[in-house]
Amino acid sequence: MKTIMIVDDSRTVRESLKFFLKEGGYNVLEGSDGREALDILVNTEADLVITDVNMPNLDGLGLIEELRKSANHKFTPILVLTTESQQSIMEKGKSLGATGWIVKPFDSEKVLAVVKKVIGE
């Protein structure tokens, strides 16, 4: 079973994502901000990281940078949660090494389609 790390400061988003992904047959890890996620990921493997951008302590873009510098997450796919208006954030994320993005609001279908696209079933 593939493992996905969800990073978001909003409990509603985390819970809904977790629900969709579990329904989709994935194992889920959670972090409420970039720092917390990074602490977990340092010695935990994950097949995918889905991260929000605006978070306290360490934001999404910072998290991407850190992960790409790390030894074990150089190639781990990373999806950024954005809203449609945040074109610049998508580009920024890409340039830092993000794999793709999920546009908010999302539903189960959308989330699973994007996840499937980047890590397969």
Partner 1 sequence: MNQFKETFKEEAYELLGNLEDLLMEMEEHPEDPETIAAVFRSIHTIKGSASMFDYNGISGFTHSVESILDGVREGSMNVSKELIDLTLLSRDHITNMLNAEEDVTPEFQLVSEDIISKLNTLAGIKTEPLVPVSPSQVEDKKQKDTVFNTFRINFKPSPEIFMSGTNPLLLLKELKDFGECHVISHTSDIPSLDKYDPLSSYIRWEIVLVSDRNTDDIKDVFIFLDPSSVVEVSVVADWHDILNPGSGKKLGEILMEKGLIKREDLENVLDSRKKVGEVLVENGLVSSSDIKSALEEQHITKSLKQTMSDKSTTSIRVKSEKLDYLVDSVGELVTAQARLSQLALQFKQSSLISLAEQIERLTSDLRDNAMSLRMVPMGTTFSRFKRLVRDLSSSLDKRIQLVTLGGDTELDKNVIEKLNDPLVHIIRNSIDHGIEAPEDREKSGKPPCGTITLEADYSGANVILKIIDDGKGLDKNAIIRKAVEKGIVGPDSQLSDEEIFKLIFMPGFSTAAKVTNVSGRGVGMDVVKRQIDSLGGIISIESEQGMGTTFSLNLPLTLAIIEGLLVSISGEMYVFPLSSVQACIELTSREREDHGKKRMIEYRGSLIPYIRLREMFLDDSELPEREHIVIVQAENSLAGLVVDEVIGDHQTVIKNMGKLYKGLSYITGATILGDGSVAIILDVNRISALARKESL
Is 104 within 8 Å of 79 (Cβ atoms)? no
Peptide bond into 105 cis (omega under 30): yes
Query: Is residue 26 at the binding interface for partner 1, with CB under 8 A as the rule?
Result: no
Mapped onto helix, strand or coil, the DSSP state of residue 104 is strand
Region of 1-9, 28-36, 52-60, 113-121 interacting with partner 1 (CB under 8 A): 113-121
Amino acid at 113: A
Pick the binder of partner 1 from 76, 82, 86, 112 (CB under 8 A).
76
CB of 15 to partner 1, least distance (A): 5
Region of 15-23, 36-44, 51-59, 81-89 interacting with partner 1 (CB under 8 A): 15-23
* Eight-state DSSP code of residue 83: E
Question: How crowded is residue 108: how many other Cβ atoms within 10 Å of its Cβ?
Answer: 14
Query: Is residue 12 at the binding interface for partner 1, with CB under 8 A as the rule?
Result: yes
Is 52 within 8 Å of 13 (Cβ atoms)? yes
Residue list 80-99, contact with partner 1 (CB under 8 A): 94, 97-99
CA distance 72 to 82: 25
Which residue number, 31 or 77, has a Cβ lying nearer to partner 1?
77
Q: Which residues bind partner 1 (CB under 8 A)?
A: 11-12, 15-16, 19, 68, 74-78, 94, 97-101, 105-110, 117-120
